[in-house]
Chain A
Amino acid sequence: MRHVYTWSAILVIVFASVVGDVLLSHAMKQVGDVGDLRRRVGLASMIARMLSNPNFLLAVASMAAAFFSLLFALSWGDVSLVAPAAASLTFIANAVAAKIFLHERVDRRRWIAASLVAAGVALLAG
């Protein structure tokens, strides 16, 4: 039963992180380069612009959900399973989601990188 809880928690964390990452990336592309923006309109307007972007707010909500499910899972789950499993699955899922939803050009270079990183994280944290 504990096993089921742990893997459910991992899936929830991965799903929430990917939704959060994709929405945040999309929102920030809509907002624009914050370095340029701050120089042009000032810090306050830049922050107002970010906060008024609905995708940004949804992203923050998803990331908060991911954060609390991780916090929850870490407190009772097997840390050496939860942390690396969630991290490596998020890498792969993010690459897939970035290609589908953000239309990023995930070329062979980036696929190899995402796979290497995911494998490395699993080995290192496992």
Chain B
Amino acid sequence: MVNSFEIQLQAGAAPFDFPVNFRKYLVLAGVTVFAVAGDSMLSHGMKQVGAVSIHHLQSVIFAVVNPWVAMGILLLLVFFATYTNALSWADLTYVMPATALGYVLLALVARFVLHEHIGPMRWIGIVLITSGVGFVAGGPALTEHPPTRSHTEADEPADGVQVMRTAPKAPLLAKNARNGAPGGAEV
């Protein structure tokens, strides 16, 4: 236990600034905005293209000639770049809720730009998503696995994974020891 704690502490003290800094929030914002913009354009375009028959599945390929669909795909490629970037320094379960914030953004645009009516259920949905995102954003961005910090697959030690499984509390302790404060010091 003491041993694994030391390993975690070393790994945690490595060259990473775990408090998510401004550049990283910018990437997460990109994930949100480009996902929403891409999805909306795609959805709009597919309505123009019309139903694709199950007997002509290949015709879905030709949907890309629709400018809305093409633009949507382009934006989704940008989304993919930001998403990939985010996943290189944060957990999947940390990045995921950021994409959900896009739905909130979409609803707010509908309300305040397009002046559409938003019913009580949808407002509740907005509150739920926002609080869910708040929950995750307050926590650590990355589970500190010692082996995944290395840059080549070859030198991933199998016992490093074991450390994680046998002492799940160790990363948190190591983190708190470094920050000098219990929990979410990076909020």
Q: Is the interface of A mostly helix, strand, loop or mixed?
A: helix
Cβ 8 A contact of A94, one of B93, B133, B135, B138:
B93
B60 with A21: CB separation less than 8 A: no
Task: Tell me, in angstroms, the Cα distance from A75 to B96 when the chains sit together.
Answer: 25
Using CB atoms, name the residue of chain B closest to A90.
B96
B92 with A21: CB separation less than 8 A: yes
A71-B60 in contact given A116-B135, A124-B107, A124-B122 (Cβ < 8 Å) = yes
Shortest distance between the CB of A19 and any CB in chain B (Å): 12
Task: Tell me, in angstroms, the Cα distance from A29 to B87 when the chains sit together.
Answer: 7
CB-defined interface of B78-91 with A at 8 Å, one 1/0 digit per residue? Answer: 00100111011101
Cβ 8 A contact of A75, one of B46, B124, B139:
B46
A124-B43 in contact given A32-B151, A50-B84, A103-B143 (Cβ < 8 Å) = no
Chain A, interface residues (CB within 8 Å), range: 35 or more
Cβ 8 A contact of B60, one of A32, A68, A95:
A68
Cβ 8 A contact of B138, one of A21, A67, A109:
A109
Shortest distance between the CB of B73 and any CB in chain A (Å): 9
Whether B23 is near chain A, meaning CB under 8 Å from some CB there, is yes
CB-defined interface of B11-45 with A at 8 Å, one 1/0 digit per residue? Answer: 00001100000010000000000000000001100
B133 with A34: CB separation less than 8 A: no
A74: B residues at CB distance < 8 A: 42-43, 46
Task: Tell me, in angstroms, the Cα distance from A93 to B104 when the chains sit together.
Answer: 21
B164: A residues at CB distance < 8 A: 103
B132 with A120: CB separation less than 8 A: yes
CB-defined interface of A87-126 with B at 8 Å, one 1/0 digit per residue? Answer: 1000100110011001111110110111111011111111
A114: B residues at CB distance < 8 A: 93, 96-97, 132
A117 with B84: CB separation less than 8 A: no
Q: Which of B42, B51, B52, B151 has the most CB of A within 10 A?
A: B151
A110: B residues at CB distance < 8 A: 93-94, 135-136, 139
List, sorted by A's number, 9 A–B pairs whose CB atoms are closer than 8 Å: A25-B95, A34-B85, A72-B57, A74-B46, A98-B92, A113-B132, A116-B135, A120-B100, A124-B129
